[in-house]
Amino acid sequence: MLLRLVYRALWWIVAPLAVVRLWWRGRFEPGYRRHIGERFGFYSTPPYTGRPLIWVHAVSVGETRAAQPLIDALLERYPSHGVLLTHMTPTGRATGESLFGDRVVRCYLPYDMVGPIRRFLKHWRPSVGMVMETEVWPNLIFTCREGGVPLVLTNARMSARSFRRAARFGDAAKPVYGGFSRVLAQSDADAERLRMLGASDVDVMGNLKFDMTPPPALLALGARWRERFGDRKVWLAASTRDGEEAQVLQARAMLASASDVGRRSLLVLVPRHPQRFDEVAAMLEKVRLNYVRRSAWSDDDTPLPADVDVVLGDSMGEMAAYFSAVDVAFIGGSLLPLGGQNLIESCAAGTPVVFGPHMFNFTQASENALAAGAARRVSDAGELASTLADLLINDDKRLAMRTAALLFAKQHQGATARTVTALGRWLDTGFVAPQE
């Protein structure tokens, strides 16, 4: 109880700083300066009085994309319900709008403060809430339980590293994790760690990301890009983080010196965060590489000039197109101890995957991909260069990995259907949270 009171008090200190941070980040992403009132539970629309409402919380872009098959399935199975999609980032909100349009309502989830969360629940009155993957916020959990709103941790994952951090709180963690009405975990290992932290009613559903279907328009766009790249080999560095681009460019230099195929190969470099696009462009200029920005590249069928070394992917929402346009994909966030990024989308496109030693946020998927022959793990920039050289030169090896990647992605599908069935406990009965 004492820790809970301290946590509540800390938020009163942090909240003003959070607003300053929103305004600061808004210098590069104006979306952070919009809808600030929603982050404190104040909404411009009248209180929701429509159909029973299913609430899905997807923090940013990755979680929103992962939620797409689930939301589509819920809309189909429960046409008499509405869906509320909440986010914490402008890019996540923009992705939700792009994917679902007016089929769902959307807003920001308030900060983890009791008053704002109570206003949020009173305004929207969801029948059930689902928070995606790792969103464990104590005040949100306790307030939902007190307000009679079932809260389900969905597509839940708990890495060994995150488990060690959470376990430091000892018994104080148990009422937090035990406050979820149900936990739907990605894997047996995730489920066991969550149980050890106090979660009850835990079931393994698999990973929703395997059920993601790349939009046909993006696949077609990627195919057009591939034609424009010509006959040279193309590799992707996807969702790179600060400090990784230097290693990727080091690997590119080694690759270029190793063979003619490597020298002629094209790098498609896509930083994870849009506020770093200009920074990475400056880095490319500093090392005197010829590059073209995706945002400045026309959408006609003009071939890419042969002297272009790098395509800088400074666009949002086109990752499926990037994956489908290349021969091999390196997954960012993995050369540095940042936990990696989702590799499933690349496998679903049939693109062989290479990643670094730090994939602890996606341990199960990465280990399964290695075992299936769909991926290779490297330790540093030098090994990245040699692995890329091997795959770009050897068509048979690359084709075998492509086949393995497609099979791997297909074999692990089905989490969406299992999750929708599990949620029927509340949705099939037409449950509506009580009015305060």
Cβ contact 414:206 at 8 Å: yes
Quick one: which of 367, 352, 359, 355 has its CA closest to 405?
352
Pairwise CA distance, residues 130 & 180, whole Å: 10
d(CA 256, CA 309): 10
Distances (CA, A) of 336 to 241, 276, 328, 329, 370: 8, 17, 20, 17, 19
* Token duo for residue 354: 């290479």
Strand partners, 132: 154
Q: What is the dihedral of CA 237, 243, 245, 247, to 10 degrees?
A: -90
63 in active site: yes
- Quote the CA–CA distance of 188 and 364 in Å, as a whole number: 9
Among residues 63, 133, 135, 244, which one is catalytic? 63
Instruction: Give the separation between CA 127 and CA 72, rounded to whole angstroms.
Output: 18
Dihedrals phi, psi of 249, to nearest 5 degrees: -70, -30
Distance CA 272, CA 238 (A): 7
Distance of CA 97 to the CA centre of its chain: 16
DSSP 8-state code for residue 111: P
Closest by alpha carbon to 217, among 351, 348, 324?
Answer: 324
Question: Any idea which residues carry the catalytic annotation?
Answer: 63
